[in-house]
Amino acid sequence: MASRPKVLLYEPIHEEGTRLLAERCELLYADSLEERRLLELVRDVSAILIRFNGKVTRTIMEAAPELRVIGRHGVGLENVDLLSAKERNIQVVYTPQANAVSVAEHFLGLTLALAKHIPQADQAVREGRWHVRHELVSRELNGKTLGILGLGRIGLQTARLCRMGLDMRILYFDVREYPEAEKSLGAKRVGIQELFSQADLVAVHLPLVAQTHHLIDRKLLRLMKPTAYIVNLARGPIWKEEDLAEALQEGWIAGAASDVFEQEPPPPEHPLLRAPNFLATPHSAAHTEESLIRMSLVAADILRVLEGKAPEFPVPEEVYMQYGGESR
């Protein structure tokens, strides 16, 4: 009987995806994400399934002569050396439609918590400070201007929620034009400086590539209204955390929230964690039951490739060009 292909999972995934793989493959789980250990584990694997942690580097690919497919449980691809995979004819698949709803809803939750001072109000009630109801004056979001950095699937879902649910005006900054969104949502494509100066609420949904690293700095933050908020559900290094902390400490903007940090987890003394009007969540925006199931089903595309079939969600050519490869 022919041996079953081996799949190395960097981290466990939802049982639905696990079950799908286990029916046809031998599953291996990484006991460490250090490259030295991964080099030992990949010697005879046909597939790698990676979540957010760890990397699939050129060195790892070179140590895996049987490797045919890399599956990314999620959307961001900065932890996979795409160009090296392409050079070795290793298919890379991902889950671009899996977490848009979950992340967009998380954005709305953080935004409402900021504008309505919900964490502060909850703490006050628990401490018996009922009188803060006269001090915590909140703001309405209805009819405000939303500026979206990156109008991909998550950005578009965020725009729909805010336009349809809160009658927001939509501005977006992106390397691509989105005529359908412009037609259906009245979205307007603008330059990044115009977006920061006009938006009441900025949503960060950009991929982390060379061009977006530390894109948001004090110059852009200084353009924002003092009543505006900014929320980052993309990647921590897209903004300069020290500049944002300064903006919050000095009151340039009304508040900020983030699901991501440059170092994860952030150290307890991180300046943003001491900043006023800042909310944080532990890179959990996509971690709904529904989204975790959908992301785990990258397993289906891994199996398609191993069976010689075309995958449903291969990484598109323009994404390879966007992310580029590792420095060698």
**Is the CB of residue 125 less than 8 Å from the CB of residue 142?**
no
Pick the catalytic residue: 169, 235, 294, 304? 235
Residue 51 annotated among the catalytic residues of the structure: no
pLDDT of the residue at 323: 72
Residue 182 annotated among the catalytic residues of the structure: no
Pick the catalytic residue: 68, 163, 189, 283? 283
Q: What are phi and psi of 67, to 5 degrees?
A: -65, 125
Residues 6 or more apart whose Cβ sits within 8 Å of residue 214: 237, 238, 239, 240
| Cα dihedral 239/240/241/244 (nearest 10) | -80
For the 6-98+289-323 domain, the top CATH level (class) is: alpha beta
Residue 283 annotated among the catalytic residues of the structure: yes
- Residue ranges, comma separated, of all CATH 3.40.50.720 domains in the chain are 6-98+289-323, 100-280
In this model, does residue 327 exceed pLDDT 90?
no
pLDDT of the residue at 324: 59
214 DSSP assignment: T
For the 100-280 domain, the top CATH level (class) is: alpha beta
pLDDT digits (tens, 9 = 90+) for 199-218: 999 999 999 999 999 999 99
pLDDT of the residue at 306: 97
Mean pLDDT for the stretch of residues 39-62: 97
In this model, does residue 230 exceed pLDDT 70?
yes
Alpha helices in the chain (DSSP H): 15-22, 35-41, 58-62, 82-87, 100-115, 118-126, 153-166, 179-185, 192-198, 218-223, 241-249, 289-296, 298-306, 317-323
Pick the catalytic residue: 15, 264, 290, 312? 264
Q: What are phi and psi of 172, to 5 degrees?
A: -145, 150
